[in-house]
């Protein structure tokens, strides 16, 4: 993990992030007005158009000058501006403490980058740290001045404990005061699966993106001979001999797992983004996520 927030980004990358904004496929009504232009029509100060008066329309927005000229009632329309809430849900279970950089270090830097984009655009940003459940969090907060606190929080996260993705995500969905854009960053290495937790977010009308972080060694293991493997979360040990057949079997199971994840995301219409932890965060955000999660 970065020891301090200063180690997260270069000044050049921050300047590039300044020019980005978050993309959401859904419209959310926030608690305060933000800078996000909504297709809905509201009552902000920016005039948009007129339409014919309908039963139940607020008489305060009737244009009486048009009525005097045309003898017909029309109401004024205004562009409504939305306050989006970005929910960053970071897996910090023990399995994320793998690779160089570790998957958790990568997840924290990615969450920091997305959180920075949200805060400088006056969106609200909150963080949930997932282990067996939502172990800790950073409550949704708004404003550029919150960037240092967000980076300090993410820099202090350490990997520990078993994974309980479905329970953690469902718990977060239930506790969240309002839905928004949810970005789940995880290696998805949970024997119980993650799907029920994602469905819980969808049922609460979150716009969900799943960032699947894997270490290069997990995709292409360089192992051979007699080995003892330890489960980082349960401590279970397993002795095995690794030969060509064992590696082929591993790759086949990995392929099946990745196909299952992709199929689930496709059928539930959520964003799926897979990345290895040796991919520069800058490249991932500016290339792979651009046009899908940021613009």
Task: Please give the Cα distance from 247 to 64 (Å, whole number).
Answer: 77
CA atoms within 13 A on the CB side of 126: 19
Res 258: pLDDT? 97
Mean local confidence (pLDDT), 86-96? 96
Please give the structure tokens belonging to residue 177.
């005061």
Res 217: pLDDT? 94
Task: Please give the Cα distance from 76 to 58 (Å, whole number).
Answer: 10
Residue 256 CB contacts under 8 Å (≥ 6 apart), including other chains: none
Top pLDDT among 222 and 181 is at 181
Please give the structure tokens belonging to residue 94.
């023990």
- pLDDT of residue 162 exceeding 70, the answer is yes
Mean local confidence (pLDDT), 201-213? 96
Cis-peptide into 223, omega within 30 deg: no
Q: Is 264 exposed, middle or buried (0-12, 13-18, 19+ CB in 10 A)?
A: middle
What is the set of domains in the chain, with CATH numbers? 5-28+83-288 (3.40.50.410), 37-82 (no CATH)
Task: Please give the Cα distance from 59 to 132 (Å, whole number).
Answer: 53
> CA dihedral in degrees (231, 273, 251, 108; nearest 10)?
-30
Top pLDDT among 32 and 225 is at 225
Q: Taken in order 274, 123, 112, 231, is the CA torsion positive or negative?
A: negative
Under the banding of pLDDT at 50, 70 and 90, the label for residue 140 is very high
Res 252: pLDDT? 95
Instruction: Give the rounded distance of the alpha carbon of 53 from its chain centre.
Output: 41
Mean pLDDT for the chain? 85
List, in sequence order, the alpha helices (H) in the chain: 11-18, 64-70, 103-120, 147-155, 165-175, 195-203, 216-219, 244-268, 281-283
Top pLDDT among 215 and 35 is at 215
Please give the structure tokens belonging to residue 114.
């997305």
Task: Please give the Cα distance from 223 to 30 (Å, whole number).
Answer: 51
Percentage above 70 pLDDT, the chain: 81
Instruction: Give the rounded distance of the alpha carbon of 177 from its chain centre.
Output: 17
Provide φ and ψ at 72, rounded to 5°: -135, 145
Task: Please give the Cα distance from 7 to 18 (Å, whole number).
Answer: 18
Res 132: pLDDT? 76
Res 41: pLDDT? 46
- pLDDT of residue 38 exceeding 60, the answer is no
């Amino acid at each position: 993990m970065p020891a301090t927030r200063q180690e997260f980004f270069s000044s050049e990358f921050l300047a590039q992030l300044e020019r980005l904004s978050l993309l959401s496929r859904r419209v959310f009504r926030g608690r305060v007005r933000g800078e996000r232009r909504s297709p809905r029509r509201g009552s902000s100060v920016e005039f948009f158009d007129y339409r014919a008066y309908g039963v139940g329309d607020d008489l305060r927005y009737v244009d009486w000058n048009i009525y005097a000229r045309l003898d017909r009632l029309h109401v004024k329309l205004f562009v409504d501006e939305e306050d989006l809430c970005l929910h960053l849900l970071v897996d910090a279970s023990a399995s994320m403490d793998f690779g160089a950089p570790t998957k958790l270090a990568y997840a924290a830097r990615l969450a920091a980058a997305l959180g920075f984009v949200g805060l400088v655009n006056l969106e609200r940003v909150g963080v949930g740290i997932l282990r067996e459940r939502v172990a800790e969090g950073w409550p949704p907060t708004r404003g550029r001045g919150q960037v240092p606190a967000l980076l300090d929080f993410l820099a202090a996260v350490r990997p520990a404990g078993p994974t309980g993705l479905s329970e953690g995500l469902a718990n977060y969905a239930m506790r969240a005061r309002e839905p928004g854009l949810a970005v789940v960053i995880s290696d998805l290495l949970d024997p119980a699966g993650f799907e029920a937790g994602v469905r819980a977010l969808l049922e609460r009308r979150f716009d969900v993106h799943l960032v699947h972080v894997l270490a290069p060694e997990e995709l292409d293991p360089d192992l051979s001979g007699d080995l003892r493997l330890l489960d980082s979360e349960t401590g279970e040990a397993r002795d095995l001999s690794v030969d060509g057949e064992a590696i082929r079997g591993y790759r086949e199971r990995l392929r099946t797992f990745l196909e299952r994840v992709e199929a689930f995301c496709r059928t539930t219409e959520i964003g799926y983004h897979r990345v290895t932890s040796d991919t520069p965060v800058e490249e991932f955000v500016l290339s792979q996520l651009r046009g899908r999660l940021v613009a």
